[in-house]
Amino acid sequence: MRYFLFILLSRRCGGWPGALLLAGALLGAPAARAQIVDDSTKVLYGPKTTRVIYEAEVLRDSTAGLPVDTTLTKWPQARFWFHDSTFQQDLGTVGSASRPLLYQPNLQLGARLGRNVFDKYARDAAQVPYYDSRSPYSFFRVVQSSSGEQVFEISYSRSLKKNFSVGAAYERIASNKILASTSSAVSGVGLVEHSNVLFFARYQTEDDRYHLLANISTSRHRAVEQGGVRPLPSERDSVKLFPGNLFNYSGEQVYLTLAQNTEDRDQFHLFQSYRLLGRGLTVYHVLDARRQYNGYSDAAIPYDVTSGKLLFYPGEKTLHTHDITLDRADYKQLENTVGVLGHTNTVNYRFYGRLRDGLLVSRFNDNILIKPTTPTGLPTPGTALARALPVRSYTEVFVGGTAGFTYHTIYAVEVAGEVKLPGLNQLSNAPFKAIRNGEYWLRGTARTGPLSAEALLTSYSPTLTQREFMGNHYEWHNAETDGTAKFKNTSTQQFTGRLRQPLPGFADHLFEASASAVTIQNLVFYNQKGEPAQPDTTKSANFIFIITARHRVRFGRFGFDNQATYTGGNAGGENGEGLRIPRLVTESRAYYQSYIFGKAMFTQTGLEFYYQSRFKGYDYSPSTQQFYLQDNFTIRNYGVASAFFVADIKTVSVFLKVAYLNQGIDGAGYFASPYYPGYPRRFQFGLNWKFFN
């Protein structure tokens, strides 16, 4: 029965990669069956005998690992289905472009591509889980909804020897159109298709002195771009006053009918460490090689039939090709990090140096006249020719580290930071050239009991996309002839105080709160034209303050979990300069949990509610893959209530959920981004099954 179910699910996992992983799981299963039972058929292995090991733990010189997560708390919540669980502004559907909704500091220095709208669905190679199990361990999870949302993942790992294990995983994320899905101008209903194949391995010596973690992954993301709702003639007069008229979903029309964004990522990551003097001195090395390809195409650029002007893109006409857009960027990066670390009961430290080599190639199609080599010498009109920006190459060196002191687990102090060394930025057709402004991040943290305080200082350069871009709809050159950015570095100063206090009286009773003051100078953002900009430096810097609070408690079988984030200052709300953040974002859960069927099944039944206050949310440019400021559309405050039921039967977890239960009560729908409605009411189903044999 188990094998039959696996084969059934493989039909939904996207072809041969998923089938190969399933075949590996099935081939390993018979051998595993002989390992997990004794003569009395008692099960020996399970969640308590399987440990999850992360690279971050090994960097702290800890290899004990963490237990497999079997809790039900996060399973029905949609933001935990992906690799980034922060609150995000997206285009209303699974797999669509997204950006962080709340303020997050940037700790990435130096050259970076700056196309991150699909980061939410991509694996971070440094956070891949490795498994230490005495028996083969595998799991699969699947989420499906009546609106076409789908998340599928299957993972299999096993120990070949006592200290050596390997594994593989396959992941698929997909969604269907909810806008214009019945239009004859749109072929099919598929909107997003994301697939990822991962192979990973772990090894350690018998004396526990040498550790190796390695993984290789490849992901492919295809997203149909619709450009949002294009108001019907009957809707245009009232759309500004009553945007609620735009919730006809499948009956609406959209701006783009043959546009698509493509993102391919390939990465190889290797971590190894060797203890020289016990836990006091360990050397380590990290090799990280990655490639990211981004392409945008539109084979039906929309024009107004009367005026001939563009309907969706900026300007009255395209910059190069009239009929088709094809913009591409290919970024490759190789990093080598070498360092030392140590750990005692009171002191821990880590110091490292990193060498980064990067290469960026950008191209677009230009419809120009080409003179052929024939004797006639007559030009051939309308021939498509791929044109490109100069190839940019980068060589950068970073140094950084962490040092901490702990006294009887009551007092702790830690300092950490990273600096990009000037003078080693190599560009194509240019010698080694010093950077005018240094880049760094520095952080200091002090903790005593439940209280902690943190200071964070950063200075970082614009992204490569903010420096230069050439395409069919946008073009900017915010760089010198050698590629050095014309923009000043963005610098921030952030001071945070935190409280984390368990409370007596009830089970799982915890209160957490934090308050932050952030000053941001020279922020580089995408302005109302969709182009990179920097505020007037003569004006005062952006200042925001952030207050967050979370309270969690259980009264017998009843549980409550409430959290809220308030953002104030001149960068929050509707009219922030460079930053637009809702003043208030909250999420609440209330549930009742109990055993049924003689404690054979553990269940949770409850409600969850998400609320977001009004703000002028970012608009989205699919051709540059960037969110940018706009002043013409206010996303009104809205709340989304959902009801869920979760059941756990040994190693099987199932949830049933009705999402957006309150649709029609406080409005016909809500907007996730300007002119991009969020999902309507729908039914969701999820299954998570773990195998320890």
- Coil/strand/helix, residue 502: strand
Residue 505 maps to a domain: yes
Please count the structural domains in the chain: 1
**Where do we find the tokens 């003097």?**
277
> H/E/C letters for each residue in 253-289?
EECCCCEEEEEEEEEEEEEEEEECCHHHCEEEEEEEE
Q: How far apart are CA 479 and CA 122, in angstroms?
A: 29
Residue 29 maps to a domain: no
Given a cut of 70, the residues of the chain with pLDDT beneath it are 1-45, 183-188, 234-244, 366-386, 423-437, 481-483, 537-540, 571-576
- From the list 115, 119, 117, 114, the residue with the least C-alpha distance to 487 is 114
The answer to whether 348 and 404 have CB atoms below 8 angstroms apart is: yes
Helices (H), ranges, 202-357:
none
Residue 337 maps to a domain: yes
Residue 2 maps to a domain: no
The answer to whether 427 and 483 have CB atoms below 8 angstroms apart is: yes
DSSP string for residues in 9-45: HHTTTTSHHHHHHHHHHHHHHHHHHTTSB-TT--B--
Specify the pairing of strand 210-225 against strand 259-275. antiparallel
What residues make up the domain containing 594? 45-687
- From the list 306, 341, 310, the residue with the least C-alpha distance to 323 is 310
Residue 693 maps to a domain: no
The answer to whether 347 and 404 have CB atoms below 8 angstroms apart is: yes
Q: How far apart are CA 328 and CA 624, in angstroms?
A: 10
Buried b (16+ CB within 10 A) or exposed e, 56-84: eebbebeeebeebeeebeebbbbeebbee
Residue 484 maps to a domain: yes
Q: How far apart are CA 589 and CA 577, in angstroms?
A: 34
- pTM for this one? 0.86
pLDDT at 62: 80
Residue 38 maps to a domain: no
Q: What are phi and psi of 127, to 5 degrees?
A: -115, 15
Residue 79 maps to a domain: yes
CA 368 vs CA 290, 381, 384: distances in Å: 34, 7, 7
Instruction: State the CATH number of the domain containing residue 393.
Output: 2.40.170.20
